[in-house]
Structures are given as structure tokens and as C-alpha cells.
Amino acid sequence: MRRGSWKLRILIGLVIVAFAMVQRCSNKEKNPYTGRVQNINMTAEQEIAIGLQSTPQIAQQYGGLYNDNRMQAYVDAVGDKLVQNSIARETPYEYEFHLLADDKTINAFALPGGQIFITYALFSQLNEAQLAGVLGHEIGHVIGRHSAERIAESNFWRTVSMGAQVGADAGNIVSNIGQNTLLKNGRGDELESDDLGVLFLIRSGYEPREMIRVMEILKEAAGPNRVAEFQSTHPDPDNRIAKIKASIKKYKGG
């Protein structure tokens, strides 16, 4: 009876894993803007809806929007310039740029569908080209559909872990493998966005080497106790600088 029970558990576990694999394969699609094949289980319209729905709550977490229309208009102007001079204008996404009031947290990020944020703490340290570098990087995340891909990949690994747990009590092992894979893929997303950011800067008439200074600012903000790269969703700033230099050479020829 016990042997039959184990056989049934293994069979159920294999079915769950197989279901996850089939679903993942059926969700594969080529990103028309980057050319990369991705695991995506939502439409661009759904991405836009998620971003719009989440924006008020996200802004509240950072103290709301910065109360200066002139500064916000400046951020909008730089962001819109990048969109109009890049492939971003050909996408269905609704790009909106938000200057957050938080003057302590150095951060910038993008939600699915085009909602892009930068804290005043970071904004206040940047010149225009550096601001363009930050916003261009975040536009790259939107075009790269990185949030949607991470959602789909997280769901995949969650289902595979459940199957492994049911079939062989190995859910924690598979979950750790999935977590490490997601971290590695997250670092790849950052490098892809850096590369796109360099291209957007060049096409908008900005000096792309200003992105290197942005990396230096982020490195200084993280301090000596920053998380090791293999434990982080972000590559080490020094590695990002090397990749940015390579992107500049690729797009400018020197």
C-alpha cells in the first residue's frame, strides 16, 4: 500500500511538472522590440492595467509625488524626449514619469506598461544626461517586458516546486534552484536595460558616458556592505560599468 502510495505521489508530481513545462512552452513569444524569446503570460494591455492600478500605492510608499510642478515637468520633458527618439514610441505602452518625494532612498524603477518612477534622493544628484540615463534604463525594462517575464517565471518555478514536493519531498531544493535562476535572470534584465539605455541616450543626443557616473552614484549609495552579486537581482556596479562601456563602443564605434 505504501509503495503504491509513493508511486501515485510520484505520478502526480510528474503530471504537475509536465503541466508547468507545457504551459511555459505555450507562453513563449518573441519580443518584437528586443528580439529575445520570453516566457510571457499576459498582454501589453494587461501590463498597462497592472501599472496604472499599482501607481497610487507605489507613490504612497515613497511619500507621494514631489510637490514641484517645475521639477516634474523637467522629468517629463527628459522622459518624453527619450521615448520620441527611440523604439519606445512604437510600443503600445503608456509612458508616464513620476518624481517621488522620498529624499532619503536612492532608487528608480518601472512598473509593467510604462509607469516609471525616480526618487528625489536620486534625482537631486543627477544632471540632465544622467537623469536621461536613469529614465532610459527604466524605459528599457518596460520595452524588455521584464516585469511580465518575472511574473511568468515565478509562477513556473512555483508550480514546478509544488510538483517536486508532491512527488519527492524536494520542493525546497527546486525552490532554491528557481530562486537562483530568477536572480540570475534579473541581473540579465538589468544589463539588457543598461544596453538599451545607452542606445536611447545616443539617439536623443545625450552623452552616453554619463551612465557610468550614474553607476558610480549607485555604488557610493550602496556602500562597502552591498550585497554580493550572486545574491542580488542587480549586477555589481563595476560589472555594469564594463558592460556600459562595451555598449557605447558597440553603438558609437569607439
Place of cell 550602496: 222
Q: At 79, is the pLDDT very low, low, confident or very high (cuts 50, 70, 90)?
A: very high
Tell me: the pLDDT tens digits for 37-70?
988 888 999 999 989 999 999 999 999 999 999 9
Tell me: the pLDDT tens digits for 151-169?
777 665 566 566 556 555 5
Higher-scoring residue by pLDDT: 236, 142: 142
What SS3 class is residue 78?
A: helix
The share of the chain scoring above pLDDT 70, in percent, equals 70
Domain that holds residue 83: 2-252
Query: Where are the alpha helices (H) located in 36-170, listed in sequence order?
Result: 44-61, 69-84, 120-123, 128-143, 146-168
Burial of 26 (0-12, 13-18, 19+ CB in 10 A): exposed
Average pLDDT score over the chain: 81
Q: How many domains does the chain have?
A: 1
Q: At 8, is the pLDDT very low, low, confident or very high (cuts 50, 70, 90)?
A: low
98 touches 77 (CB < 8 A): no
Q: What angle do CA 112, 142, 116 make, to 5 degrees?
A: 70
Closest-CA residue to 40 (of 153, 141, 172, 207): 153
pLDDT at residue 38 in the model: 85
Q: At 172, is the pLDDT very low, low, confident or very high (cuts 50, 70, 90)?
A: low
